[in-house]
Amino acid sequence: MNTRMDAPEPKADKAGVRRHNLSLVLRTVHEAGETTRAAVAARVGLTRAAVSSLVEELLERGLLVESGKTFSGSAGRPGTVLKPATTGPAGLGVELNVDYVSVCVADLTGADRVRRTVPVENRALAPVEVLRRAAGIAAEVLAEAADQDLRPTGVRLALPGLVAGGTVQQAPNLGWNRVDADALFARALHAARPSGATALPVASDNEANVAALAELWFGDLGGVRSFVHVTGEIGVGGAIVLDGELLRGAHGFAGEIGHLTVTPDGPRCRCGSNGCLERYAGQSALLRAAGVRDVDTLERRAQDGEPRALAALDEAGRMLGVAVSGAVNLLDPQAVVLGGIYPRLTRWLAPAAEAELGRRVVSGLWTPARGRLRAASSTADAARGAAALVLRDVLADPQAYGG
């Protein structure tokens, strides 16, 4: 019988209970922002004594801090306030895009504490050189973070391409094929730091994926937990979050909405297909259609009502609407979020896109009450999302960090 109608869950493994509970307590404090031992015990269903012992270890490891007393809440008597530490363990996120590098250090609360964004024409450089320059910027940011007593435990790179197993399989807009980004960056970062600095583990991810996670964790989504995230950069990236989890796909490549076909016989795309959304709504295509060199100029001309700029935005919006309609018909998400260069252009892109959505999404699904294109939050970007992924590892296994 090959039915698997409802396979029972496997027997729970009792090993690593304390390790698991340390994580549970740390995540509970993280989630609450500030709380007490008694409230944590009530929340997670452990005894007060067990929680106190776990909290002690987390304090020693520098992952939690105590601050003052609270007299509020349901715990009945005052307790010492617990918070996640805002010094010590931190995450380093590096967004390496086509025309800029952005580096962020986030503390354990997720706050963006050190930031450096540098325009770089990465297309003109060899991958090893791109990664070397990015590592140089990251080394400076690490030094600045050290001055604030922030010690990143790892690095997450966010790259505009298909990333699997530490290798950028393909990043058409960077012109990269099979680049061992993790290893090259780790080596370059180590070389750029003072001798004696501990080597940091490096892992890569798709830029659109981490931008979507940043929106989930730091954005202004209200109760939305399932959404499609479309990022306008030189190309168009995409990511899918379902019930608070990133959909990675069978090979780690899910979310490539930029290569959804919007016109089967349309212009050739760098990916090898033609008529991809990216060829209409990517930054390069949009600027070319508008006859301008940069997004600032495009925005200014649109504000001035310049017809060619408005027509380019309208056409990009229309094609965005066609592709997003497809994603909505397939996924029935709670929302669609536009990130990257799109938030500042949404007022011109949205009308045409909304018209397509209203027409193409199966009836009842896209209504003003249910769906609206929304601009990504300005505080949620790929570099911060990448830094937060490092922090998530700390939250998941506090014993591996701190102390």
Residue 216 or 376 with smaller CB distance to its own copies? 216
Among 48, 187, 190, 248, binds its own copies (CB under 8 A): 248
- Cα dist from 119 to 205, 247, 390, whole Å: 21, 30, 24
Which residues are CB-neighbours of 79 under 8 A, at least 6 positions away? 36, 37, 38, 39, 69, 70
Residue 81 or 197 with smaller CB distance to its own copies? 81
Under rule CB under 8 A, which residues in 267-306 are in contact with its own copies? 271-273
Q: Select from 64-72, 129-137, 189-197, 251-259 the region that touches its own copies (CB under 8 A).
A: 251-259
The distance of closest approach from Cβ of residue 19 to its own copies in the complex, given in angstroms and rounded to an integer, is 14
Among 61, 193, 259, 279, binds its own copies (CB under 8 A): 259
Under rule CB under 8 A, which residues in 370-399 are in contact with its own copies? 370, 388, 391-392, 395-396
What is the C-alpha end-to-end distance of the chain, expressed in Å?
Answer: 52
What SS3 state is found at 202? strand
**43 lines the binding site for its own copies (CB under 8 A):** yes
For 30, list phi and psi in degrees, rounded to 5. -60, -45
Is 267 within 8 Å of 363 (Cβ atoms)? no
Q: Select from 60-68, 118-126, 234-242, 294-302 the region that touches its own copies (CB under 8 A).
A: 234-242
From 135, 248, 243, 250, select the one nearest 187 (Cα to Cα). Answer: 135
Site pattern 101..140 for its own copies (x: CB under 8 A): --------xx------------------------------
Residue 143 or 271 with smaller CB distance to its own copies? 271
**30 lines the binding site for its own copies (CB under 8 A):** yes
DSSP 8-state symbol, 268: B
The distance of closest approach from Cβ of residue 93 to its own copies in the complex, given in angstroms and rounded to an integer, is 13
The distance of closest approach from Cβ of residue 70 to its own copies in the complex, given in angstroms and rounded to an integer, is 16
Among 152, 232, 255, 340, binds its own copies (CB under 8 A): 255
From 295, 346, 292, select the one nearest 321 (Cα to Cα). Answer: 346
Other Cβ atoms closer than 10 A to 277: 29
**Run of H or E residues at 295:** helix 295-303
Residue 138 or 216 with smaller CB distance to its own copies? 216
Among 216, 287, 382, 387, binds its own copies (CB under 8 A): 216
**170 lines the binding site for its own copies (CB under 8 A):** yes
From 391, 385, 303, select the one nearest 337 (Cα to Cα). Answer: 385
**145 lines the binding site for its own copies (CB under 8 A):** no
Residue 133 or 209 with smaller CB distance to its own copies? 209
**Run of H or E residues at 169:** strand 167-171
Using CA atoms of 73, 76, 80, 84 in order, give the dihedral in degrees to the nearest 10.
-40
3-state helix, strand, coil in the chain (%, to 5): 40, 25, 35
